[in-house]
Amino acid sequence: MSYHRRAGDATFELNLAPFLDIIVSIVPMLLLSIAFVQIKMIEAPTPQVVTQDQVKAPPKPEATLTLHVSKKTGFQFEVDDSGKKQNTNVNNVTGQFDMDGLVTSAIAIKTKYPQITKLQLAPDSDIAFDDLVKIMDRVREKPQSQRAAASFTDKAVDAKAENRQLFPDIVFSSVGG
Amino acid sequence: MAARGMRKYLDRRASGNFKIQITSMVDMFIILLVFLLKSYSTSPVNITPNDKLRLPQSTSAVDPIDVLKIIVSKTAVFVEDSKVADIKGGHVDISSVDNTDPQFIRPLFEELDKKAQHAKDLAKVNETVQFDGKVLMQVDKDLPYAALQQILYTSMLAGYYDVKFAVMTKD
């Protein structure tokens, strides 16, 4: 009997008013700093202007890779391997850029020249910036679907590893004509 | 009879105290708070949605850094908050382009050179400040490469060669 009385007395109502005051104060502050769009960035350095006395002979790379982009003809990879040039064309499909073909060719070149990390982008003047960003995204990293296929065994740690990078260093080669 | 009934009603009403049920309001606020905390941003780049500046979408996951900003909208080129050149039909206005060098945008160069000089002067008196030629460009996605090339060339000549482009995430 006494237990039932005690249990009945123990019910109480929580005072939520101060808690609500705090939340009402925080919400306007958070509303001011809300970001509905997440901004990220892409690095695309341009050649640096230096004076003649600053010029040092840089080590000559074994091979350089240039990607020409044209609305009419599509993509053209140009590999300059110690003066020996090799071109790979990726033609447009029904007047649109063949992005899948671009990735396939980029992977093939990366497989042949794994030491190349830098890609010189040389687009035509009428290419929109949006298309350039899409192209840069495609040649920077392998797509998710093709990462497993390109995996290899890392002998140093004896574990399965994957090289997801294609050409992460992209520069605009045609700046300044 | 009616007056007595009314008094009875008012007496009953005055004596009755009531409490506002705020539990459901607290629930709602907590949901709102969680959503706002999730969208809270301390990014140095904040962009107000605008018809004249639509950034391209990218899969890049690199967070932006707080450096000098060049904003290239559909209608103008800005360095931080000051307008330096007009853009008409996707091309930099001919009045801003140098007569001898069609790639060179003189007002943009002058503004960037001023900023670079200011940063270099600051670096002389403050060791923590260093001029590293970094610039973050917010470029409209429809801008043709010809105009972008002019801006890149001019910023390169002003010493801003480490170019970064602001993009939106695809999520």
- In tens, the pLDDT along B117-140 reads 999 999 889 888 888 889 999 999
Q: Which of residues 3-62 of A touch B (CB under 8 A)?
A: 16-17, 19-20, 23-24, 26-27, 30-31, 33-49
Q: How far apart are CA B153 and CA B161, in angstroms?
A: 9
- Percent of chain B scored above 70 by pLDDT? 91
Of the candidates A43, A137, A174, which has its C-beta nearest B59's C-beta? Answer: A137
B36–A42: do the CB atoms touch at under 8 Å? no
Q: What is the mean pLDDT of residues B19-25?
A: 83
Q: Which fold has domain A59-172?
A: Nucleotidyltransferase; domain 5 (3.30.420)
Weakest-pLDDT range from A33-37, A76-80, A87-91 = A33-37
Confidence (pLDDT) at A97:
92
pLDDT of residue B142: 93
Could you tell me the pLDDT band of residue A7, with boundaries at 50, 70 and 90?
Answer: low
Confidence category of residue B39, pLDDT binned at 50, 70, 90? confident
Rounded Cα–Cα distance for residues A120 and A65 (Å): 6
Is residue A75 within 8 A of residue A103, CB to CB? The reply is: no
* Residue partners of A105: CB distance under 8 A and separation at least 6: A75, A77, A88, A90
Angle of helix A129-140 relative to helix A99-112, nearest 10 degrees? 40
- Output the pLDDT for position A61: 62
Q: What is the pLDDT of residues A157-168, one digit of tens each?
A: 555 556 678 898
Say if residue B109's pLDDT is above 70.
Answer: yes
Which of A46, A69, A139 has the most B C-beta neighbours within 10 Å, making it the best mutation to test the interface with B? A46
Lowest mean pLDDT segment, chosen from A42-56, A118-132, B51-65, B103-117: A42-56
B14 touches chain A (CB under 8 A): no
Q: Give whole-number Cα distances, B35 to A19, A32, B42, B136, in Å.
A: 18, 13, 16, 29
d(CA B131, CA B124): 10
Is B58 in the A-facing interface, judged by CB distances under 8 Å? Answer: yes
pLDDT in tens, B49-100: 678 889 999 988 888 888 999 999 999 999 988 999 999 988 899 998 988 8
Name the percent of chain A lying above pLDDT 70.
76
Cβ–Cβ below 8 Å for A39 and B142: no
Instruction: Decide if A31 and B144 are in contact by the 8 Å CB cutoff.
Output: no
Average of per-residue pLDDT across B158-170: 89
Residue count of chain A:
177
ipTM over 0.90: no
The domain segmentation of chain A, as residue ranges, is 2-32, 59-172
Quote the percentage of chain B above a pLDDT of 90. 46
Is A122 an interface residue toward B (CB < 8 Å)?
Answer: no
pLDDT(A36) > 90:
no
Mean pLDDT of A167-175: 85
| Residue A54 in this model has a pLDDT that exceeds 90 | no
